[in-house]
Structure 1
Amino acid sequence: MAGTVEPKDLADQLVEAARQLFVAGVMSHSGHANLSVRLDTGRFLLSPGWVRDLRPEQLATLSLEGEVLDGELRAAGAEIIAMHAAVYRARPQVGAVIHTHSPAATAFAVAHRPLPCRTEPMLRFGQAEEVPVVPWGPRGSDVSVRGVAEVLEQRPTTSAVLLANHGLLVFGPDAAAAALLVTAIEESAEAEIAAKALGGAVDFPDGALEAVRASMARAAR
C-alpha cells in the first residue's frame, strides 16, 4: 500500500509514471492528463492538468474532502479533485489514479461503448472485464462524480472506467501499475478498432483468465 512509502518516493513514482505514459505513446496530442497517488487514508498527491515534463514540486497535497493542504492547483486542476477523491473513498486498496485522453480509449468513451477485454495485456495488468462507461456530466461536477461512484459500486472489480464524451480513468495499487493498465487499455482499444476491418474482434475462450494467472504464477517461481 502507498501509505508505507515516503511521500517523496511516492511523488517520484508519480512523475515517473507520467513519463512512462509519454514514452509509451498513449497520450493525446495536448498531453492532457492528471495523476494522483494516495499518501495515507486521508490525503493524496495530485498533478496539474498537463503532465509533460512533470516535476515533483508541481504536485499538490489534497484531503479526501477536497481541501488543498499544500501546493497550488489552477482552476482546471481543481475541477478534478473530487473525481480522484471519489475513487480513493470507494476503493481503499487503490494507491494511484490516472486520467488521460488517450485517443483510442477516448473514441470508445465518445461512442458510449464499453471496451471489451479481448487482449492479454488487459488480463495481465488488472482489467479482466470490459471497461464500463460512466454517463456524461460536466467535468468535476457532482453529476460526473456521482456517476463515477455509482459505476464503481455497480462494478466492484473494475480497475478502469470510460468517462462518456471525455476520456479514460484508471486506478491501481500504485502509480506504475496504473500506468501499465492505461497503456494496456489504449493498445486494446486500438486493436478493437483495427480488428473491425478484419471482421471484428473475438472474445477469449472460457478459462482464459485462469490460464493467464497460472502462467504468471509459474513464471514467478
Structure 2
Amino acid sequence: MTQHDPVQKARADLTAGINKLFAASAMSASGHGNISVRIPGHDDRLLVNAGELLRPWPADDLRVAAPALRTVNDHVVVVGLDGTVHEGTPSPSVAAILKMHIGVYQARPDVNAVIHTHSPYATSYALAGVSLPARYEALLVHGQPVDIPVAPWAPRGTEEAVRSIAETFAAHPRTYAILLGNHGLLVAGDSARHAASLVVAIEEAAVSSIGAEPLGGPAPFPDHVHDLDLRLRFEEPTA
C-alpha cells in the first residue's frame, strides 16, 4: 500500500481528526462520537469509524489491507452515500447514525468530513436549545462566521432527525456546524483536521461564552467584521 492509496489518505485524515479532539480535551469523558471523511477520488464513498466510542488512535496504525477500495479492519468501515456498507462492520450505534452523516454530505456537497461529539459545553447549548453566538475570534479563523444554529430534536437515526439536520444546514448555508437539540454537536469540514479544529474552537467558544455571562455576555464584533476574511486555510498533508 502506497502513500497515494485513497483509503490510507482518508484513514490518516480520520486519525488526525480524532487525535486532535482528544489532545484538546474537546471530547466528553464517555468518548461518545463518530467521524467520517470522503475517500479521495471516490466522492460517493465515506470512511467512518466502526466502533461505539472514539479513542485516540496511533497515527501509524492504518491496518488497511488489499484490493480495490481496500478491505478495512473493524476500526473503520467504507460506506456509500446510498447507505450501503461496502467494507467492514459498523457497531449497532454507528449503523444507527450513518444516515445522519450521509444526510450532511447530501445537504452540503462541498464538505469532506463530518464529526459528531457530545463536547460538554457545546452540548450545554444544545440541551438549552440556544444558538451558540459566533463572538469568539477562533470561530472566524476556522471558517464559522455565523452563530451556530440548533436543529430541533428528533429520535437519533430516524428520517425525522436526518431531515431536521438537512433543513437546518439548508437554512444556514454559511454554517459548518449545528447543535443537535437535546443531544450534542455536529460539525462539517473541508477535512477531518479542519472539522476537528472547528470542534475545538466551538468548545472553547462555549466555555468562554458561559463564563462571560456574569460579565454581561459575549460582546458582538464590530459591524466591519463582515467585510473581513479572517479564515486561515492550511494546506493539507499529501501523505
Superposition TM-score, scaled by structure 2 size? 0.85
* Alpha-carbon distance in structure 1 between the residues aligned to 2:17 and 2:153: 27
Q: Secondary structure, in 3 states, of the residue corresponding to 1:10?
A: helix
Equivalences for residues 1-221 of structure 1 within 5 A: 6-39=6-39, 40-47=42-49, 48-54=51-57, 56=62, 57=73, 58-211=75-228, 213=230
**3-state DSSP of counterpart to 1:28:** coil
C-alpha distance 119-141 of structure 1, shift in aligned 2 (>3 A) = same
What is the percentage of aligned positions where both structures have the same residue? 42
Instruction: Note if contact 1:123-1:209 (Cα within 8 Å) is conserved in structure 2.
Output: no
* 1:37–1:166 distance in 2 versus 1, CA, 3 Å: same
* Deviation >4 Å, runs of 4+: none
> What 5-or-longer segments of structure 2 have no aligned partner?
63-72, 234-239
Letter of the structure 1 residue corresponding to residue 48 of structure 2: L
Greater helix share, structure number: 1
CA drift of 1:12 comes to 1.3
Q: Which moved more, 1:47-56 or 1:101-110?
A: 47-56
Q: Which runs of 5+ in 1 are unaligned?
A: none
Whether the 8 Å contact between 1:64 and 1:85 is mirrored in structure 2 is yes
Please give the secondary structure, in 2, of the residue aligned with 1:41: strand
Give the whole-Å Cα distance in 2 for the aligned partners of 1:197 and 1:68: 49
Shift of 1:177: 0.4
Contact 2:22–2:56 (8 Å) recurs in 1:
no
Judged with a 3 Å threshold, the aligned counterparts in structure 2 of structure 1 residues 92 and 5 are, in CA distance, closer, same or farther, namely farther
> Does the CA contact (< 8 Å) of 2:17 and 2:192 recur in 1?
yes
Aligned-CA RMSD value: 1.7
- The count of residues paired between Structure 1 and Structure 2 equals 213
